[in-house]
Structure 1
Amino acid sequence: MHNQGIGTWISRRSMRSLDDVAISYRGRTIGYRELSSRIRRLAHALADRGVTAGDRVAFLGNNHPAFLESLFATATIGAIFVPLNTRLAAPEITFALEDSGATTLILTQELRELARAGAWSTDVTRRIVVDGEAYPAVESYDEVLASGSDTEFDVPVTADDPAIILYTSGTTGHPKGAVLTHGNLTWNCFNALIDYGVSAGERVLLISPMFHVASLSMGALPVLLQGGQVILHERFDPADVLRTVQAEQVTMLSGVPTTFQLLQEHPDWETTDISSLQHLTCGGSTMPERMLAAYEQRGLSFSCGYGMTETSPGATAMPPRMSKEKMGSSGIRHFFTDVRVVDQNGRDLPAGEVGEIWISGPNVIKEYWRRPDATGSAIVDGWFRSGDLGYFDSDGFLFISDRLKDMIISGGENIYSAEVESIIMELAEISSVALIGVPDEKWGEVPLAVVSVHPGAELSADAIRAHLDGRLARYKIPKQVVFTDELPRTASGKVRKADLRALYAAERSAAGTTSQGGHR
């Protein structure tokens, strides 16, 4: 084959796994041979409609077989897949479509209105709806797929060619498109196969959306590469997850601390047979001791990890047998990845000293989409500057200390303060604002806005949230707004966010504040 990218994976695997189940969804199963056929037909159908190598094909939808079929079909053509976060507001969808230059949008029926609002002013000329009937200017996915030839589709694709553009929240108010190559995704899978022991008999239940790189690259792709089974859930529901684990004999489950907490707190936890589970991977933040203990009582251990979109996403992983002994650590370097902790001059620091975490390896991006400025500042001599602070212990285990980029991680979702602050500052009454993350029992942390207004001005917290509603994803909107006369600043005028975090985290903890209900 001329195509050396991920687009050939299912075709190659189907010759070995034949009719073994590849994907389960809503009670329906798709075998590897059928999946390979569907991918070939979709690739031909997209090519017949003008999609060529290098074109961008966007997908707006929750976990669905069409997501994976579209990814592999796009990769078969040599085009670039752009998965969109379904939790974004319409203006954020518009930005991603405009910035990527996507001309094809595949969407699920339930997100038809969001797609319409987000794509109407962009260069998208082809729209295809999944699980829905065709309507003016929009084709039916099933009809498109049926129109394609079931013959081999082989064009030259190399490991260095772009496969996916994933948008990360911007530290300067605009998201950046991280370009993951076919090689990045492949080497990340190799890391997962070695460090997590993914096998051919794996049955992974995806409870996190695949538009996040962790669910896609640490769950779906390595399991499909090995010939295992991917079970798709569109949304996270603790009761449904527990039922599925027992009924489908799930062996692998990935999530963030919040998801595992909600599973453990569910009334069905004690009576559900979870003996099939072998691999539990957790990212986003470290697992609290009480949660580790609760799962250990059921004979389960976690492999917590550290990474980001730009590392496809794995940088480190915790060997499960060490999760208790090295509690609070994000583990050791992935097998094919290197990690350093350096000072402000880029010099390696000894064990125990905190510095910036730098990462390199074949799973690390080479660039941001059409952002040479951002690429140049983030990548130094092949090392990706994470913007996170941490240290190694004497055994080589990484501990995360803080974030240089003021990023907030809420329930596994990344929130960058600058993006939210820039929209809040549009309100004429506000003189300054700082968004910080404060501890939350359910979500790990949630955004809190500290605001000062101009003398004589009046503004309520509800008014601020109303201004953000529809402009940003709900999880980015501050759960609490605090008004103050003046924000603490350094001599150079920068807001001292560390002081704010210390103050309001302590107050929130003392008040025992917990976000009620879902904020997704």
Structure 2
Amino acid sequence: MHNHGLGSWMSKRRLKSPDKTALILGDGDTLTYREMADRVDQISALLAARGIGKGDAVAYLGENSPDFLQTLFACAQLGAVFVPVNTRFAPPEVTYVLTDSGARALIHDVELADRVADGVEAARIPHVLLTGDGTDRIPGLNQLGPAAPGGHADADVSLDDPVAIVYTSGTTGKPKGALLSHGNLTWCAMNCIVDYDVVSADVALMISPLFHVASLGMGAMPVVMTGGTMVLEKGFEAGRALELIERHRVTMLSGVPTTYQLMADHPAWPSTDLSSLHKLTCGGSAVPTRILNAYEERGLHFSQGYGMTETSPGATALSPDMTRAKQGSVGLPHFFTDVRIADEEGRVVPRGTVGEIEISGPNVFLGYHGMPEATAASFTDDGWFRSGDLGYLDEDGYLYISDRLKDMIISGGENIYPAEVESLIGDIEAISGVAVIGVPDERWGEVPWAVVTVRDGAEVTTEQVRARLDGVLARYKLPKNVIVVEELPRTASGKIRKPDLRTRFGRTV
């Protein structure tokens, strides 16, 4: 038997770079690749002793920690399927994931015990373990791992075998479990290494939750593959992130526009030494001009991209040298990935024509767990994944996102793509966040409304926003109403939950 998947990664790192620092923890502790690999062996032995083997689902509910990554690689050694659970989920949502995934084991943080009780009972999970030191009465992985019988596991695993079920953020409905293979995460890591130039000397600050596929697939995986170092944080706080960048000479950072805006707005921003940083990636939405300006003033430039859970998640990347020349674009397809645009009949359309974005490559997922009909509907007859997003390719092959199919507003027979309107509203100085949604209208069917957050001390009116956009956009695209809210509802990955806004302001999905 031989493991050709992620289960071999840690043993290879132990061989190639045993004394290299793999993780730097928030309190300053470090773990080498040898120590990481040894812990992975212990956890895989612990799971195997409880009967976990190839194809069994192991759920994990916990904040960023060594245990998260070690459990993932331990499952990969056994050919088991790792199920990361969103730590922001309420108990009913956790129950849904545990039951839907068919988890046979659950590993969770002590602090999150109240989230899992109902799910453990509903899913009849036979094995429940605690991370870290556990409690005074119940030992955690730190005690159970070293005591487990056995050693390094080497199950018969191929790149085509499943390695994880990652639940979609649910921005368009009930979460679905995207089944990712060992090959999906391997090729996603390769795409990042090629297009973002990840090397062993890199130090990556991990401020996004690892249960989100962007942080896992495009952050942790390429760093481990190349033997780099991760500074592992449980969460994001702008001042602390700046401190860690300076202290640990961080070279890589990933986030969403809000992440970068909060850092640039922090009082420590002007005085923090950022000279080590040279790889900044941003996803979720295009980087507003004001953020580009703030970072370029410090000599920093962004890589931007597009992807989703189903593509592990990267599909395209915009290199820093093209940020201005192709502003608004999400870039070219990753090296091992292809992108095309198709119309409603499935025909590939000419460049410059808006249609559905379709993606092909070894990073495209296996399908939705337990949902064969949804899986079949998500692929074309010739095997391309139908993203559900609208966009177009320009004359140079760069991809531009128009919007989610389900977010498109039809007003008086005219199509309005909210992303286009949002990008312009987002550049208004007083506005810190924006979502454009369709609201029912007796005359036009739907009209666009803008829901915004504003900076401290700032004010904004509907008239001001419309005046700013008038003459830039067709008048039917101008928001008929601008509503100021304290906070926009977001998923764990930073995406705005538009269904919540539609429900609140007059339209459900």
Give the TM-score range, shorter chain.
Answer: 0.7 to 0.9
> What is aligned with 2:18?
18
Cα deviation 1:286-316 (Å, max 9, x = unaligned): 0011111111111111000000000000100
> What is aligned with 2:45?
44
Give the match's secondary structure for 1:144.
Answer: helix
Q: Measured at CA, do residues 62 and 237 of structure 1 come closer, stay the same or move farther in structure 2, by a change above 3 Å? A: same
Deviation, structure 1 residue 114: 1.4
Deviation, structure 1 residue 79: 0.3
Tell me the amino acid that sits aligned with residue 52 of structure 1: G
Give the match's secondary structure for 1:262.
Answer: helix
> What is aligned with 2:328?
328
2:448 equivalent among 490, 493, 501 = 501
> What is aligned with 2:151?
151
> What is aligned with 2:194?
194
1:394 has 2:395 as partner: yes
Cα deviation 1:356-406 (Å, max 9, x = unaligned): 000010000121101001001001121110010001111111100111133
1:280 has 2:227 as partner: no
> What is aligned with 1:365?
365
Give the match's secondary structure for 2:350.
Answer: coil
> What is aligned with 1:244?
244
Tell me the amino acid that sits aligned with residue 293 of structure 1: N
> What is aligned with 1:341?
341
Q: In structure 1, how many angstroms separate the alpha carbons of the residues matched to 2:148 and 2:442?
A: 61
1:513 has 2:484 as partner: yes
> What is aligned with 1:309?
309
Tell me the amino acid that sits aligned with residue 65 of structure 2: H
Give the match's secondary structure for 1:22.
Answer: strand
Q: In structure 2, how many angstroms separate the alpha carbons of the residues matched to 1:298 and 1:254?
A: 17
> What is aligned with 2:90?
89
| Higher mean C-alpha deviation, range 330-339 or range 16-25 | 16-25
Tell me the amino acid that sits aligned with residue 84 of structure 2: P
> What is aligned with 2:175?
175
Q: In structure 2, how many angstroms separate the alpha carbons of the residues matched to 1:139 and 1:382?
A: 47
Q: Measured at CA, do residues 507 and 202 of structure 1 come closer, stay the same or move farther in structure 2, by a change above 3 Å? A: same
> What is aligned with 1:114?
115
Give the match's secondary structure for 1:388.
Answer: strand
Alignment of 1:73-472 (within 5 A): 73-134=74-135, 139-149=139-149, 151-170=151-170, 173-380=173-380, 381-406=382-407, 444-445=433-434
**Retained in 1: the 8 A contact 2:110–2:135?**
no
> What is aligned with 2:500?
none
Deviation, structure 1 residue 488: 3.8
Tell me the amino acid that sits aligned with residue 42 of structure 1: I
Give the match's secondary structure for 2:448.
Answer: helix
> What is aligned with 1:69?
70
**Retained in 1: the 8 A contact 2:436–2:451?**
no
Tell me the amino acid that sits aligned with residue 294 of structure 2: A
| Higher mean C-alpha deviation, range 103-112 or range 326-335 | 103-112
Give the match's secondary structure for 1:387.
Answer: strand
Give the match's secondary structure for 1:120.
Answer: helix
**Retained in 2: the 8 A contact 1:178–1:369?**
yes
Deviation, structure 1 residue 115: 2.2
Q: Measured at CA, do residues 518 and 336 of structure 1 come closer, stay the same or move farther in structure 2, by a change above 3 Å? A: closer
**Retained in 2: the 8 A contact 1:165–1:178?**
yes
Q: In structure 1, how many angstroms separate the alpha carbons of the residues matched to 2:62 and 2:170?
A: 22
Give the match's secondary structure for 2:263.
Answer: helix
Q: In structure 2, how many angstroms separate the alpha carbons of the residues matched to 1:233 and 1:170?
A: 25
Q: In structure 2, how many angstroms separate the alpha carbons of the residues matched to 1:133 and 1:29?
A: 20
**Retained in 2: the 8 A contact 1:317–1:334?**
yes
Q: Measured at CA, do residues 347 and 320 of structure 1 come closer, stay the same or move farther in structure 2, by a change above 3 Å? A: same
Tell me the amino acid that sits aligned with residue 219 of structure 2: G
Q: In structure 1, how many angstroms separate the alpha carbons of the residues matched to 2:261 and 2:239?
A: 13
**Retained in 1: the 8 A contact 2:433–2:488?**
no
Superposed CA RMSD in Å reads 2.6
Deviation, structure 1 residue 13: 1.3
Q: In structure 1, how many angstroms separate the alpha carbons of the residues matched to 2:165 and 2:319?
A: 30
Q: In structure 2, how many angstroms separate the alpha carbons of the residues matched to 1:445 and 1:56?
A: 38
Give the match's secondary structure for 2:210.
Answer: coil
**Percent sequence identity over matched residues?**
48
Q: In structure 2, how many angstroms separate the alpha carbons of the residues matched to 1:43 and 1:163?
A: 14
**Retained in 2: the 8 A contact 1:283–1:304?**
yes
Q: In structure 1, how many angstroms separate the alpha carbons of the residues matched to 2:125 and 2:16?
A: 38
Q: Measured at CA, do residues 364 and 129 of structure 1 come closer, stay the same or move farther in structure 2, by a change above 3 Å? A: same
Deviation, structure 1 residue 447: 8.8
Q: Measured at CA, do residues 52 and 351 of structure 1 come closer, stay the same or move farther in structure 2, by a change above 3 Å? A: same
Cα deviation 1:154-181 (Å, max 9, x = unaligned): 1100100000001114577432110000
Q: In structure 2, how many angstroms separate the alpha carbons of the residues matched to 1:443 and 1:158?
A: 46
**Retained in 1: the 8 A contact 2:355–2:391?**
yes
Give the match's secondary structure for 1:93.
Answer: helix
> What is aligned with 1:463?
none
**Retained in 1: the 8 A contact 2:133–2:143?**
no
Q: In structure 2, how many angstroms separate the alpha carbons of the residues matched to 1:50 and 1:254?
A: 37
Tell me the amino acid that sits aligned with residue 233 of structure 1: E
Structure 2: gaps of 5 or more residues: 410-417, 453-460, 467-481, 493-509
Tell me the amino acid that sits aligned with residue 307 of structure 1: G
